[in-house]
Chain A
Amino acid sequence: MKVLWLQAAGCGGCTMSLLCAENPNVFQLLEDAGVGFLWHPSFSLETGAEVAALLARIEAGEVALDVLAVEGAVARGPRGTGRFQMLGGTGRSMLDWVERLAPLAGDVVAVGSCAAFGGVTSAGGNPSDAVGLGYEGTLRGGILAPEFRARSGRPVINIAGCPTHPDWVTETLLLLKAGALGAEALDALGRPLFYAQHLVHHGCPKNEFYEYKASAVAFSDQGCMMEHLGCIGTQAVGDCNIRPWNGEGSCTRGGYPCINCTAPEFEEPRHAFTETPKIAGIPVGLPTDMPKAWFMALASLSKAATPERIAKNAVADRVVVPPSIRRPKGGK
């Protein structure tokens, strides 16, 4: 299976994250699985005229395009011309290239939230008029029409994340190679379910603080960051705390909030990223799959029942009260 990887209007961070794949390293992993690159902007030797010639052959149907992977949103500006990103040496915009190549691809993979939905590239006033391949934020239809299907019949596969975890990308490619990525394997936003069926909350080391609503008040506090620091890990999809990042990390493990980077429009939360918006002291945006009144009732109960250990540790930058040692019954 051969992948053509293009970097559109993005930061390149999903490729940089991909290089962090381990056991085995990314090159070995893909080679062993029979996944190769027609061209990758960071890994391939070919450059300049060599690449332009390859793209021309793909466009002419002389080279089969198994997978088109696009990293970064696609700039449509200024005024719909796409000239905010020209592909060097070709005299054509990235917008034009992606529009021309996508229908030729066996599958189209949007790598990262920019390629999937627009992402950070479309933040603020969206200066470059950037959109995702299959979505403009939460709206279906990016530079490709809502009914777009690749040759395989699949819609754009959205490996959303900012950045993507290296395993999300490699495992999606491996599933495609194995012919094991059916329509049922994607969620309603086209995200592979193997990571999108989990919440960042799952496995979060702050879960005990969450149970008692023992909250961090400021950065470097260990408590749950939902009440004050903008954390939306209870609603954000991702297995970030089940299989951590770079060894043993995740955003919440690093002491800062989950900002829901796998979701469309995460880049515009309509409040400061690291501050929970509140109405009359009550955080807005509580977990969506639970009646609000129940949540409030449970929260006030558990807050009242918070053990001293948890209350003290929540507002400290390290464990100040360790768990008490439970003596076995009948022990000495």
Chain B
Amino acid sequence: MSETRLVVGPFNRVEGDLEVHLELSEGAVASARVNAPLYRGFERMLEGKDPRDALTITPRICGICSISQSVAAAFALGEAIGLRPAPQGALVAALIHAVENAADHLTHFNLFFMPDFCRPAYEGRPWAAQAGARFAPGVGGAARAAVEARAELMHILGMLAGKWPHTLAVQPGGVTRAPGPREVVRIGAHLRAFRRYLETVVFGAPLEAFVALETAEAAAGWGAGDAGVFFEIAADLGLADLGRGAGRYLSFGAYPIEEGHIFASGLWEKGAREFDAGAISEDLSHAWMLGPARHPFEGETRPDEEMRAAAYSWCKAPRLEGAPVEVGALARQVVDGHPLGRALVAGAGGGVMARVAARLLELARLVIEMERIVARLDPAARFMTRGGEVPEAGRGAGLVEAARGGLGHWLRIERGRIASYQIIAPTTWNFSPRDARGVPGPLEAALVGVPVAPGEAVPVAVQHVVRSFDPCMVCTVH
């Protein structure tokens, strides 16, 4: 049968650019190679700088997960200094971070993922007209409602973080602005407006009803709101079985407050267990990077300017205990033990439907968690712990959960300056190239078997699988 190659790119709605090389056989993807085609070298920029400068520079790695980068940098620096945030400061940081993550999930669903169902290839499907009316880029009703709801939600960030993206409000000791009583009630008002929007437009029902779902069948039968449009499409196109992952999920744990993480940390591999951050390494065999595989505390970033033929991406290949992991909202909800999260990966790794359903689930859960945080804010408390000098030598790691999954910063300080700074972003995990053993990254593996019709220059099923991961390409290589 015919074997052909196909290069797919430029790939949009992926927060940056992406190029996917496919080998096709028998009308399906036989193998995939994923290229992150942009190198900026943030890790190198930071070397020799005052460690506090990481708080200004690293958020600018990414315009969509900027606060995640802030929080990771603050944790890494805080660990090196030996400074923990004031408990109320940690709550505000968690709130700021949750707002960004909720906004990202909303943006992904409405602006990045759903528009692909408006493609001419789907004309004639029973849901095509509705998909077009709701999700046509720039004009769809859902797209416009989403940007308005998102902009108002972000008023919380204007108030607590000064602006979005690229805030300096999150510091190792807490947050720079202490909310007073009137800020707290105003934040509550913004959250109620956001809940009303979600319940009216996205879910068509109380958030608690979606959060109460426990089986994949119940989710698939959800008929209300724009979520219902998605589940109808998912059933018609078989998205549950499209782009299934390997079923190995990692979460660093999200929103650390006094009592622990709001969403648990751990590794899921047919069961949940703790993970060892010391067992992370970055393999460079197929990246245009020089040097051996190392743990990020010992790692380095030296681009291969020759761009050797054996490699095909600027992205390194992070591995946990030597094997790839999938990260993201699905991983978080599986690790956290939400019944729907676990049900979506029962028997096999989740596919396109599971990744998107988990993101919707988390969006609903996040609003409930943000409401709980606001109820606990105490305007009389301190929001910043003072003190803490940057040491002459030290190190620290900041492991957080961005919307797209686990994000890690590893900082080493020598002679009071940054000696090394290594970053592994969520999409570095998900869109990693092969490692030295030839094991493909999670997207590369998920693309195998995806159908590509003869002559299809923009294979639509490939679009769904790629975007189901909610990639952030500017973070990937950084």
Q: Measuring CB to CB, which residues of chain A are less than 8 angstroms from any residue of chain B? A: 7, 9-17, 19-22, 25-28, 31, 37, 39-52, 75, 77-79, 83-90, 120-121, 123-128, 130, 162-163, 218-220, 240, 244-257, 259, 261, 267, 272-275, 317-318
Contact code string B1-29 (vs A, CB < 8 Å = 1, else 0): 00000011111110111110000000000
Task: For B165, list chain A residues within 8 Å (CB).
Answer: 11, 13, 16-17, 163
- Besides A37-B138, A44-B137, 13 more A-B contacts (Cβ < 8 Å) are A12-B474, A17-B165, A19-B107, A45-B116, A47-B13, A87-B37, A124-B41, A125-B45, A127-B45, A249-B158, A249-B161, A274-B168, A318-B178
Least CB distance from B365 to A in Å reads: 23
A251-B50 Cα distance, complex, nearest whole Å: 21
**Complex contact A255–B177 (CB within 8 A):** yes
Contact code string B130-148 (vs A, CB < 8 Å = 1, else 0): 0000001111000110011
B400 within 8 A of A: no
B60 within 8 A of A: yes
| Contact among A45, A78, A255 with B162 in the assembled complex (CB-CB below 8 Å) | A255
Contact code string B34-68 (vs A, CB < 8 Å = 1, else 0): 01011111001111111011011100111110100
**Which of chain A's residues has its CB closest to B20's CB?**
A88
B164 within 8 A of A: yes
| Contact among B17, B39, B157, B178 with A87 in the assembled complex (CB-CB below 8 Å) | B17
11 A-B contacts, Cβ less than 8 Å apart? A10-B474, A27-B147, A42-B111, A45-B118, A45-B119, A48-B10, A83-B307, A85-B37, A87-B10, A162-B166, A273-B168
Task: For A87, list chain B residues within 8 Å (CB).
Answer: 9-10, 17, 37
Task: For A21, list chain B residues within 8 Å (CB).
Answer: 151
**Complex contact A246–B44 (CB within 8 A):** no
Known contacts A75-B40, A254-B176; A11/B61 CB under 8 A: yes
B173 within 8 A of A: yes
**Which of chain A's residues has its CB closest to B306's CB?**
A78
Known contacts A220-B177, A317-B382; A248/B37 CB under 8 A: no
B434 within 8 A of A: no
**Complex contact A78–B178 (CB within 8 A):** no
Least CB distance from A46 to B in Å reads: 7
State the majority secondary structure of interface residues on A.
loop
Task: For A120, list chain B residues within 8 Å (CB).
Answer: 57, 60
**Which of chain A's residues has its CB closest to B45's CB?**
A124
**Complex contact A220–B383 (CB within 8 A):** yes
Least CB distance from A332 to B in Å reads: 31
| Contact among A7, A45, A220 with B137 in the assembled complex (CB-CB below 8 Å) | A45
**Complex contact B10–A90 (CB within 8 A):** yes
Task: For A256, list chain B residues within 8 Å (CB).
Answer: 162, 167-169, 176
| Contact among A31, A49, A250, A272 with B138 in the assembled complex (CB-CB below 8 Å) | A31
A253-B157 Cα distance, complex, nearest whole Å: 11
Least CB distance from A98 to B in Å reads: 14
**Complex contact B174–A220 (CB within 8 A):** yes
A148-B116 Cα distance, complex, nearest whole Å: 39
Task: For A52, list chain B residues within 8 Å (CB).
Answer: 10
**Complex contact A127–B50 (CB within 8 A):** no
Least CB distance from A185 to B in Å reads: 25
Task: For A274, list chain B residues within 8 Å (CB).
Answer: 52, 55-56, 168
**Complex contact A42–B166 (CB within 8 A):** no
Task: For A250, list chain B residues within 8 Å (CB).
Answer: 162-163
| Contact among B112, B144, B180 with A318 in the assembled complex (CB-CB below 8 Å) | B180
Known contacts A25-B144, A125-B44; A163/B8 CB under 8 A: no
Task: For A10, list chain B residues within 8 Å (CB).
Answer: 63, 474
Task: For A15, list chain B residues within 8 Å (CB).
Answer: 63
Task: For A22, list chain B residues within 8 Å (CB).
Answer: 148, 151-152
Least CB distance from B141 to A in Å reads: 11
**Complex contact A51–B383 (CB within 8 A):** no
| Contact among B12, B39, B158, B384 with A128 in the assembled complex (CB-CB below 8 Å) | B39
Task: For B15, list chain A residues within 8 Å (CB).
Answer: 12, 42
**Complex contact A7–B17 (CB within 8 A):** yes
Interface size of B by Cβ–Cβ distance < 8 Å? 90
| Contact among B11, B64, B160 with A48 in the assembled complex (CB-CB below 8 Å) | B11
**Complex contact B164–A246 (CB within 8 A):** yes
Least CB distance from A213 to B in Å reads: 20
**Complex contact B52–A246 (CB within 8 A):** no
Task: For A7, list chain B residues within 8 Å (CB).
Answer: 16-17
**Complex contact B10–A47 (CB within 8 A):** yes
Least CB distance from B462 to A in Å reads: 9
**Complex contact A20–B164 (CB within 8 A):** yes
Least CB distance from B358 to A in Å reads: 23
B150 within 8 A of A: yes
Task: For B46, list chain A residues within 8 Å (CB).
Answer: 124
**Complex contact B115–A45 (CB within 8 A):** yes
**Complex contact B457–A41 (CB within 8 A):** no
Task: For B57, list chain A residues within 8 Å (CB).
Answer: 120, 123, 267
**Complex contact B458–A249 (CB within 8 A):** no
**Complex contact B12–A46 (CB within 8 A):** yes
**Complex contact B154–A247 (CB within 8 A):** yes
In the complex, chain B residues 457-478 whose Cβ is within 8 Å of any chain A Cβ: 457-458, 463, 474
Task: For A39, list chain B residues within 8 Å (CB).
Answer: 12
**Complex contact A13–B63 (CB within 8 A):** yes
Task: For A246, list chain B residues within 8 Å (CB).
Answer: 151, 154-155, 157-159, 163-164
Task: For A218, list chain B residues within 8 Å (CB).
Answer: 384, 386
B171 within 8 A of A: yes
| Contact among A48, A130, A219, A244 with B158 in the assembled complex (CB-CB below 8 Å) | A244
A247-B189 Cα distance, complex, nearest whole Å: 13
Task: For A163, list chain B residues within 8 Å (CB).
Answer: 63, 165-166
Task: For A125, list chain B residues within 8 Å (CB).
Answer: 44-45, 47
**Complex contact B159–A248 (CB within 8 A):** yes
A15-B50 Cα distance, complex, nearest whole Å: 29
**Complex contact B11–A47 (CB within 8 A):** yes
B305 within 8 A of A: yes
Task: For B221, list chain A residues within 8 Å (CB).
Answer: none
Least CB distance from A64 to B in Å reads: 20
Known contacts A13-B60, A27-B138, A162-B166; A128/B40 CB under 8 A: yes
Known contacts A256-B168, A274-B168; A84/B38 CB under 8 A: yes
